[in-house]
Amino acid sequence: MKITKCLFPAAGYGTRFLPVTKAMPKEMLPILTKPLIQYGVEEAVEAGMKTMAIITGRGKRAIEDHFDISYELETQIKGTSKEHLLSEIRALITQCTFTYTRQVEMKGLGDAILKGQALIGREPFGVVLADDLCINPDGDGVLKQMIALNEKYRCSVVAIMEVPEDQTYKYGVIEGKEMEDGVYRVTGMVEKPEPDEAPTNLAIIGRYILTPDIFDAIRQTKPGKNGEIQITDALLHLAEKGMVLAYKFKGTRFDCGSVEGYVEATNHLYNLEEEK
């Protein structure tokens, strides 16, 4: 079955960016002139997805307005030298359907994904955490790479990268058997382990391809790290049946959930633009 839907959990508060995130969703923070979530949507479109299912929360309306036509603005700039500045976002609005539902209580990433079941139905789907910005200027985007693996093996896929051993406490960490270059059959996974408890330094980043049995797995998952329903714990249920792969993606990932990573992404993309 072709994967056409992509879920964007976007209900989080973005406290690390206060005060800017007080009245503005963190997903709308710009990298150059585009908000973070638009990079994620573009990556999903490149991978062949057409329906963007966004899990929002209170104070997130700017996301809906962004993926909509602003008639007043369009009228203002029509025929002027600035009209081209809207071409990319217009193309997305034309090609995609955007659907929304709210996560009413912040009960964790697993819970946010479960809220998306109504928008996804019973089919495999992508997940993008927009504050992980991934680029691969010379090849396929990360989601597209992951879809190729899902088509080959018909199971869930998580994107991973090696991180310094003292950084495992920030990530879901996997353990697995390498079955082809950079592809692991996951045998264990743990959410945000301290370095001495981490099975490896292979950290999950914010890109997933999930099979629809994940929804039942989430329902069976008890609150874990920080008292939240963790997607990592739910995926472990599927991994126990041998149905989760971890994939060392090609490209660069920036942690735009931290000020440092955000600045790094901004500088990197600015330099790429300058070189054009």
Q: Which residues bind ligand G1P (CB under 6 A)?
A: 109, 129, 132, 171-172, 191, 203-206, 230, 232, 257
Rounded to a whole number of angstroms, the distance between the first and last alpha carbons of the chain is: 38
Location of structure tokens 């879809």? 147
Residue 109 or 142 having the CB closest to ligand G1P: 109
Residue 9 or 89 having the CB closest to ligand G1P: 9
- Compute the distance between CA of residue 276 and CA of residue 274 in angstroms, rounded to an integer: 6
Residue 4 or 258 having the CB closest to ligand G1P: 258
Nearest residue to the partner ligand G1P, using Cβ: 172
- Closest distance between ligand G1P and the C-beta of residue 27, in Å? 13
Residue 45 or 109 having the CB closest to ligand G1P: 109
Query: CA triplet 27, 261, 50: central angle to 5 degrees?
Result: 40
A 10 A CB-CB count for 162 gives 11
- Compute the distance between CA of residue 191 and CA of residue 48 in angstroms, rounded to an integer: 30
- Closest distance between ligand G1P and the C-beta of residue 68, in Å? 27
- Closest distance between ligand G1P and the C-beta of residue 109, in Å? 5
Location of structure tokens 């955007």? 98
- Closest distance between ligand G1P and the C-beta of residue 73, in Å? 33
Residue 175, CA distances (Å) to 88, 187, 229 in order = 40, 6, 20
Residue 109 or 155 having the CB closest to ligand G1P: 109
- Closest distance between ligand G1P and the C-beta of residue 158, in Å? 9
- Compute the distance between CA of residue 172 and CA of residue 201 in angstroms, rounded to an integer: 10
Which one, of 151, 147, 156, 154, lies nearest residue 174 by Cα? 156
Residue 89 or 103 having the CB closest to ligand G1P: 103
Query: CA triplet 197, 202, 204: central angle to 5 degrees?
Result: 100
What one-character-per-residue DSSP string does 17-65 give? Answer: GTTGGGSS-GGG-EETTEEHHHHHHHHHHHTT--EEEEEE-TT-HHHHH
Cβ neighbours of residue 229 closer than 8 Å, sequence gap 6 or more: 107, 108, 109, 110, 111, 114, 218, 221, 222, 223
